[in-house]
Structure 1
């Protein structure tokens, strides 16, 4: 599923590409944004096992303006090379706990807070809004801060004359999706972590990320015209892949929204 390995990833205007796992590049407003960087080689990563490397290495991405880290607690979303990559970027936006652990250039965003990033296309600012995410079943045991599994966030990117893009992070909660749809109308594109990840010994091995049916339901609730799935392959703890995603969207009558391309291939952010 790799479209390119050793070529530079050329800048786009309003497009996104998944490099493998959760790692997604979004070019919008003249900015290059990288979501949940993971660039380590395949192999064991603690209690998780990676089976597929990135379609494009970090050296091929060129200058990056912003790194979005949904959470820093799990190596499938933020590995060693991903951490080094993020810390070399001019700005990292993440959850407050991760920002404290990482230090500069990381900035922590609580749910429903925003950060303004100056665009390089002359269009003003890109607004980055942190939105809720639940990394496991709604009834999962919560920590002292009310988090299931760990502190995690999603993001919504927007700006004048730009597509509005929802980036889910590792969210399994349809309730969170419904709240986002209510408070942020007009989402054009949704980058949804899917794969129905299941981890032995956690939550009776119920999914800690969306399965295909929930991804299709999320797309419908959000009203998105473009859905770019991420984080559904490359690790052994995923229980669903590309086929299950395509089947779920077909059964929901939403296949026209789904953009499942080879990793490293670009999808426009507007339908």
Structure 2
């Protein structure tokens, strides 16, 4: 798998690009998939502050087939322009509670529920499997629905002849990653929300998403051949950035797995 520079977001056969923050564009099986769209301008957004713009705006992304939303309650994962972008898509896949709030075209998936989408490339269906995520420390207080912080889901994308891609969402739990690895043992690519997001008022300021060492540990547990980091820049509450991620993977002996390209530049995938 290699990085391919290029201007714009022409359709790819099998590739991923991170646009900044958590937002990634994944082209698989003739489908364009966008995860956690965030396109608002820099500046304060509620109690969070955005520090850099998306590398590509909504118009640059072009027509999308599926939008994946790990959760809808935090503006660093779904902001106002991202919400409008998602609502204009033919299909949004997200958690059950989020789907109820978002309305059409959102389809709610509980963890371990799947949704199949026909592939324009003629290869059958792309299956999107919702997987659990824990948005904070394991011992964090849980709400009435059993969630830490809020409902969050990750996703596993798979299909005949395609690389299997895991998108973590805002998960901080290695135990959860281990459960996903047990149930889905053949993950080829992991898009990991790293950056150790912290909000002082929540859980004594402990990370709400994977820190750098946690991301390296998650990569080792998953056994993925390729790791694409996301959710580590663009917002002030991310406490670790790319240097910390690269150091953690180096210290773990996993640097060969890490694929980092400038935002808006494709990382080409092969199975």
Q: TM-score range by the shorter chain?
A: over 0.9
Residue 17 of structure 2: aligned partner: 17
Q: Quick one: distance in 1 between partners of 2:270 and 2:166?
A: 12
Structure 1 ranges of 4+ moved more than 3 A:
none
Q: Secondary structure at the match of 1:39?
A: coil
Query: Are the equivalent residues in 2 in contact too, given 1:189–1:270 (CA < 8 A)?
Result: no
8 Å CA contact retained: 1:226, 1:270: no
Aligned residue number for residue 217 of structure 2: 217
Superposed, 1:118-157 pairs within 5 Å as: 118-157=118-157
Matches within 5 A, 1:239-254: 239-254=239-254
Where in structure 2 are there 5+ consecutive unaligned residues?
A: none
Take 2:267 and 2:118, find their aligned partners in 1: how far apart are those partners? 24
1:14 Cα deviation from its structure 2 partner: 1.0
Task: Give yes or no for contact 1:136–1:171 (8 Å, CA) kept in 2.
Answer: yes
State the distance in 1 between where 2:201 and 2:61 align. 37
Deviations 1:225-267 (A, max 9, x none): 0000000001110110000000000000000000121101111
Query: What TM-score results when the alignment is normalised by the length of structure 2?
Result: 0.97
Q: Tell whether the 8 Å contact from 2:117 to 2:127 is kept in structure 1 after alignment.
A: yes
Equivalents in 1 of 2:193, 2:224: separation in Å?
Answer: 15
Where do 5+ consecutive residues of structure 1 fail to align?
A: none
Deviation at 1:269, TM superposition (A): 2.8
Q: What CA deviation, in whole Å up to 9, does each residue of 1:125-171 have, x standing for no partner?
A: 00000000000000000000100000000000000000000000000
Partners of 1:253 and 1:57 lie apart in 2 by 36
Distance, in Å, in 1 between the alignment partners of 2:245 and 2:21 is 15
Deviation at 1:101, TM superposition (A): 0.7
Q: For 1:243, what is the secondary structure of its paired residue?
A: helix
**Equivalents in 1 of 2:62, 2:50: separation in Å?**
25
Q: Secondary structure at the match of 2:107?
A: strand
CA–CA separation in structure 1 for the residues paired with 2:32 and 2:165: 14
CA RMSD in angstroms comes to 1.0
Q: Any idea what SS the aligned residue of 2:117 has?
A: strand
Post-superposition shift, 1:8? 3.3
* Cα distance between partner residues in 2 of 1:270 and 1:145: 39
Counterpart in the other structure of 2:226: 226
Please give the alpha-carbon distance, in whole angstroms, between the structure 2 residues aligned to 1:110 and 1:270: 29
Q: Is the 8 A contact 1:22 1:35 kept in 2?
A: yes
- Equivalences, count: 267
Compute the TM-score of the two structures, normalised by the length of structure 1.
0.97
In the TM superposition, residue 23 of structure 1 has moved relative to its aligned partner by 0.3
Contact 2:8–2:264 (Cα < 8 Å) also in 1: no
